[in-house]
């Protein structure tokens, strides 16, 4: 087979942990399948199929993986029909541990259910019935809290949920519970949160405390980005004839931004920010709007004004001394909040046990109970005997879509990975991480990738060659994302090292088509909602372009129209 240099390294490198950053269309599944096949057939140190643990993101991906590795081995058997070892591996691959994380956890729990004191006939509950159990749990929680008469609860309820409805309280408790489930050891996280809050409330140098400095430095970093944008702007218009009022505006804003950038503490930043403001943008004449950089200056002015106004309203709301007094008053409420979330977890779990139904988060946490022996004072997990036994069983651990792994899943992997027994092969693309709302942690990907780049504990391999798309599509994609994606926004700098490139031998390598944009420009932007006439105009624009393509020799079957949503668009499209 023909592999790129990077694919070859990912397939044939041995005895090292490997992280593969695979861009779209880079053949990552082919690499995974080929690596497994080559490991099975390795002449020096063959790995039998039942010594693999492969974790995928979906059941469909797991099924595809099994099918493709089976086909690969069957093709090899066809060339060597007397190979009994190969025939044995084909049988084993059908029962190999190739599944989603949840399926792996499910199997582990049913095998060791007696250690968890749960009924092995449990099932995953439907969302509707789980919702009802949560409602029962929150109602019981609040009944207990009100009946207790705890002063801390009364203050918490009065502060965050005034009025007759408990809806806000229910939402607050639910939010904290769900977020805490993203940590392998929620109790440790709760205690750490309380300790940090207490230190913040009691510190004598609040302005220089780590938490406050973190807030200050984040705000200053945002400001410095605007300052850099201003420097580029001033450089671009140097030598131009700038309308006087905009020259004065830029000077005033520049001085304000410079004064903020010179501060070294929260209080100093607060004082400068609160005493100054970004001047209003001067009313423009028709001649002003003819100035080439008018829109650029207006846009930058709006950005910096919104940023500093947001900082005033949400971060730098009072001097450090006043905020410290507030922090001291809030600490008892934080303690109560945590008590409520922890008690809710106990009640909700009891209801689920009674019905013998659980959710997917439960599968992961039950698996952790089996795999973690204990946590040290710093929250570091240590493997149980069950985990050590599994680590000896699995010679190779593969993880697909690693960019969407969460902290709980990462801890499961750590418990199963043992330096002297197995190696870890992770593959993903941080640019495609889309599950942060499910507490996915793409920073885990970045951290491991950085560590492997220095070859401290493994090797990092970049698969950039795209074998799926035409060069014109890749060029356009790179152009757009190189201007949108950077480490602070997207987790990675989209540059020459990470950009997609057309792979040699790809089916569309010779395609010379380029990407094009069709612009529908409104006279003014009054609302983000799309008016019916906009849909008709866009449809007419698309129809006209399709007719031009047909006249150029294309067929209707060559063309596809992709819509973000069909609502309100399908009928007009069909009519045209």
| Per-residue b or e along 219-250, where b marks 16 or more CB atoms closer than 10 Å to that residue's CB | bbebbeebbeebeebeeebeeeebbeebeebb
Residue 28 marked as a ligand binder? yes
Q: Residue 376 in contact with residue 190, Cβ under 8 Å? A: no
Q: Residue 115 in contact with residue 71, Cβ under 8 Å? A: no
Q: Residue 138 in contact with residue 168, Cβ under 8 Å? A: no
Residue 320 marked as a ligand binder? no
What is each CA distance from 212 to 265, 325, 329, in whole angstroms? 9, 14, 17
Place of tokens 């109790």: 187
Q: Residue 145 in contact with residue 153, Cβ under 8 Å? A: yes
* Packed helices 127-148 and 151-160: angle between N→C axes, nearest 10 degrees: 120
Distance CA 201, CA 193 (A): 12
Residue 482 phi/psi, 5° resolution? -65, -20
Residue 403 phi/psi, 5° resolution? -65, -20
What is each CA distance from 56 to 23, 441, 456, 470, in whole angstroms? 17, 16, 26, 28
Give the bridge partners for 97, in sequence order.
53
What is residue 372's three-state secondary structure? strand
Residue 262 phi/psi, 5° resolution? -85, -10
Give the bridge partners for 22, in sequence order.
463
End-to-end CA distance of the chain: 47
- Do the bridges between strand 381-383 and strand 372-375 make them parallel or antiparallel, or are there none, so unpaired? antiparallel
Residue 23 marked as a ligand binder? yes
Place of tokens 């968890």: 116
What is each CA distance from 450 to 19, 31, 453, 463, 531, in whole angstroms? 10, 21, 5, 16, 47
Element (H, E) at 71: helix 59-79
Helices (H), 437-517: 442-453, 471-484
Residue 458 marked as a ligand binder? no
Encoded tokens for 315: 């971060």
Distance CA 97, CA 488 (A): 37
Residue 27 marked as a ligand binder? yes
Distance CA 538, CA 184 (A): 49
Number of Cβ within 10 Å of residue 471's Cβ equals 20
* Packed helices 101-111 and 360-371: angle between N→C axes, nearest 10 degrees: 60
Place of tokens 């985990």: 387
Give the bridge partners for 466, in sequence order.
502
Residue 292 marked as a ligand binder? no
Name the binding residues: 22-29
Name the binding residues for ATP: 22-29
């Amino acid at each position: 087979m023909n592999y790129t240099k990077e694919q070859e390294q990912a397939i044939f490198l041995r005895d090292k942990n490997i992280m593969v950053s695979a861009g779209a269309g880079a053949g990552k599944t082919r690499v995974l399948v080929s690596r497994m096949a080559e490991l099975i057939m390795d002449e020096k140190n063959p790995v039998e199929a039942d010594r693999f643990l492969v974790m995928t993101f979906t059941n469909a991906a797991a099924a595809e993986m099994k099918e493709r590795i089976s086909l690969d081995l069957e093709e090899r058997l066809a060339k060597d029909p007397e190979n009994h070892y190969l025939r044995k591996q084909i049988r084993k691959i059908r029962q190999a541990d190739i599944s989603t994380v949840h399926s792996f956890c499910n199997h582990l729990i049913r095998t060791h259910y007696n250690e968890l004191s749960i009924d092995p006939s449990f099932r995953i509950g439907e969302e509707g019935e789980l919702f009802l159990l949560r409602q029962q749990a929150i109602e019981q929680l609040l009944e207990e809290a009100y009946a207790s008469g705890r002063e801390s609860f009364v203050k918490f309820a009065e502060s965050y949920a005034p009025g007759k409805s408990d809806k806000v309280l229910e939402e607050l408790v639910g939010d904290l519970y769900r977020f805490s489930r993203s940590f392998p050891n929620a109790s440790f996280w709760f205690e750490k949160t309380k300790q940090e809050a207490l230190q913040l409330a009691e510190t004598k140098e609040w302005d220089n405390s780590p938490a406050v400095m973190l807030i200050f430095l984040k705000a200053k970093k945002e400001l410095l980005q605007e300052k850099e944008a201003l420097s580029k702007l001033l450089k671009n218009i140097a030598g131009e004839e700038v309308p006087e009022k905009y020259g004065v505006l830029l000077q005033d804003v520049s001085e304000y931004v410079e004064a903020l950038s010179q501060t070294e503490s929260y209080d100093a930043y607060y004082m400068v920010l609160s005493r100054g403001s970004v001047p209003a943008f001067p009313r423009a004449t028709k001649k002003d709007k003819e100035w080439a950089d008018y829109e650029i200056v207006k846009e930058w002015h709006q950005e910096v004004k919104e940023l500093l106004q947001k900082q005033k309203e949400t971060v730098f709301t009072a001097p450090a001394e006043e905020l410290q007094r507030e922090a001291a008053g809030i600490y008892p409420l934080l303690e109560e909040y945590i008590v409520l979330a922890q008690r809710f977890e106990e009640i909700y779990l009891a209801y689920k046990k009674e019905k013998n139904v659980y959710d997917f988060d439960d599968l992961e946490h039950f698996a952790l109970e089996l795999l973690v022996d204990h946590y040290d004072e710093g929250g570091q997990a240590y493997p149980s005997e069950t985990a050590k036994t599994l680590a000896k069983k699995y010679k190779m651990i593969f993880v697909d879509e690693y960019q969407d792994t969460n902290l709980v899943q990462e801890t499961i992997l750590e418990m199963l990975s043992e330096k002297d027994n197995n190696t870890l092969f992770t593959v993903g693309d941080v640019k495609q991480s889309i599950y942060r709302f499910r507490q996915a942690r793409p920073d885990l990907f970045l951290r491991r990738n950085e560590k492997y780049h220095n070859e401290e504990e493994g090797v990092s391999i970049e698969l950039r060659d795209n074998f799926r798309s035409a060069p014109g599509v890749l060029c356009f994609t790179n152009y757009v994302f190189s201007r949108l994606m950077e480490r602070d926004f997207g987790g990675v700098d989209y540059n020459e090292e990470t950009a997609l490139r057309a792979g040699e031998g790809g089916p569309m390598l010779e395609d010379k088509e380029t990407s094009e944009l069709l612009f529908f420009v409104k006279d003014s932007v009054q609302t983000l909602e799309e008016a019916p006439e906009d849909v008709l105009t866009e449809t007419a624009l698309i129809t006209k372009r399709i007719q031009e393509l047909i006249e150029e020799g294309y067929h209707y079957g060559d063309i596809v129209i992709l819509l973000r949503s069909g609502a309100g668009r399908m009928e007009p499209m069909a009519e045209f």
